[in-house]
Amino acid sequence: MTGTAAATPQFETNGGTHSFPAGKALRLDSGATLSPLEIAYKTYGRLNATRSNAILVCHALTGDQHAASVHPVTGKPGWWDRVIGPGLPLDPERYFIICTNVIGGCMGSTGPASIDPSTGKPYGLTFPVITIADMVRAQAMLVEALGIETLFAVVGGSMGGMQVLQWAADYPEKLFSAVCIAAAARHSAQNIAFHEVGRQAIMADPDWRGGAYETAGVRPEKGLAVARMAAHITYLSETALQRKFGRELQRDGLSWGFDADFQVESYLRHQGASFVDRFDANSYLYITRALDYFDLAARHDGVLAGAFRKARDVRFCVLSFSSDWLYATAESRDVVRALNAAGCRASFAEIESDKGHDAFFLDEPQLDRTLRGFLGANAAARGLA
């Protein structure tokens, strides 16, 4: 399916939205409850007879459930289609792979653009503030609804990696293994600062309308685009940006004005403009907030190892990229040290790459080899064919 923008992969086995019955409300960390709850998801491959081959893939901030499926809005291949597929590290012929859209998202799961049953209008800013733990609780409800007691693995990068760590803290008994890629156990001041720039850009857009833009029939596209532009810089390494663009100009000579003279400017504008087609501004506010609130150690008196005390039977693999400055290797090392301190079985590798944080989406053979090796060995340990 890579390269061709139309076909649904043959190994896609389900796709849709699970609506929980009215009695099944999602209780949130904030104290609020979310009901009705809908979770949009995709599955690849088939659940085996013993229901022991399920892998949950968790997406990043602006990702969605279309991990290996053509994106319905952009028509582009799935965001992890180079990892999920026959013969690839997450092989649907061997595993039953589930990817859900996080709550607060905008691709079908309940989020700020969903209709608030009490008003009949989109939630907007009346949507409750959510956390990474809330996202994971919702995923656990879906996994249970699919009849799966234990996941063979939970895998994710960036915000997905944070969900993986949260899974290990909250549902260790439901996990056989966990793969956390390019993530951290908490958001740093710098992480929060970049997100705040993005949120302020959205809220400064007059079309944001206090979050009620949908009712007003407008969209804060300019603000959301600027938020994406700022964030996009944090996903790339300085080396990658320099290599890709340097000081190259769009056309001969300078404009002596404020057009996009430099190719890097044009690239960022394009990133911003295309992002607004597929993402909702309020979702961006809510999900970045969830990330900023993330601090796994907080509930354990600030001791990260405390979060993993019950996860001693989970097999962990933590991976970082050498040029990632958004969630740097040091952050992953802190996670590994906490896992060691808690007596967990942990593997850790720093993958050499100059592509920055986004390396986990890109062609990194060492990432593939590591995933394949780790999952393959654990599949053998779990007795998967």
Partner 1 sequence: MSGAVREDFREILRLVRPNARVLDVGCEEGELLELLGREKQIDGQGLEISPAGVAACLARGLAVVQGDGDRDLDHFPTRAFDYAILSKTLQQMREPRHVLSELLRIAEQAIVSVPNFGHWRMRVSLMTRGRMPETRVLPDPWWATANIHLCTLRDFTDLCRDLDLRIDACAALSGGKPARPINPDGPLENWRSETALFLLSRRADAVPQAAPLDLFGEVALPTPEGVKPTRRRKVSAPSS
168 binds partner 1 (CB under 8 A): no
Residue 303 found at the interface with partner 1 (CB under 8 A): no
Binding-site size, partner 1 (CB under 8 A): 28
Contact 36, 130 (CB under 8 A): no
Closest to partner 1 by CB, 123 or 374: 374
Beta carbon of residue 342, minimum distance to partner 1 (angstroms, whole number): 8
Name which of 21 and 343 has its Cβ closer to partner 1.
343
- Tokens at residue 170, please? 């909250």
- C-alpha distances in angstroms, 139 versus 3, 41, 160, 273, 385? 30, 10, 12, 31, 26
Closest CA to 155 of 374, 381, 9, 383: 374
Binding-site member from 14, 352, 362, 363 for partner 1 (CB under 8 A)? 352
Q: Which of 336, 357, 360, 364 forms a contact with partner 1 (CB under 8 A)?
A: 336
DSSP, collapsed to helix, strand or coil, labels residue 121 as: strand
Nearer to partner 1, 221 or 364 (CB): 364
Q: Which of 351, 359, 360, 364 binds partner 1 (CB under 8 A)?
A: 351
- Region of 22-30, 180-188, 241-249, 377-385 interacting with partner 1 (CB under 8 A): 377-385
Task: Output the smallest distance, CB 136 to partner 1, in A.
Answer: 24
- Which of residues 209, 269, 337, 382 is near partner 1 by CB under 8 A? 337
Distances (CA, A) of 76 to 2, 3, 72, 102, 236: 9, 8, 8, 20, 21
Of 5, 193, 362, 377, which lies in the binding site for partner 1, with binding defined by CB under 8 A? 377
Sheet strands (E) in 127-235: 151-157, 175-181
Kindly tell me which residue out of 345, 354, 382, 384 binds partner 1, with binding defined by CB under 8 A.
345
The verdict on 309 binding partner 1 (CB under 8 A) reads no
User: Would you give the distance in Å from CA 346 to the centre of its chain?
Assistant: 22
Active site residues: 158, 324, 357
Which residue in 125, 6, 105 sits closest to 64, CA to CA? Answer: 105
Do residues 237 and 356 touch, judged by C-beta distance below 8 A?
yes
Q: How far is the CB of 5 from partner 1 (least distance, A)?
A: 33
Q: How far apart are CA 104 and CA 127, in angstroms?
A: 8
Dist CA 320 CA 187 (whole Å): 16
Exactly one of 348, 355, 359, 364 binds partner 1 (CB under 8 A); that residue is: 348
**Cα 384 from Cα 378, distance rounded (Å):** 9
Return the residues of window 80-139 that contact partner 1 according to CB under 8 A: none
* CB closer to partner 1 out of 6 and 330: 330
315 lies in the binding site for partner 1 (CB under 8 A): yes
Encoding tokens for residue 102? 């996080």
Q: How far apart are CA 14 and CA 11, in angstroms?
A: 9
Which residues of the shown chain bind partner 1 in the complex (CB under 8 A)?
315, 317, 333, 336-337, 340-343, 345-352, 366, 369-370, 372-374, 376-378, 380-381
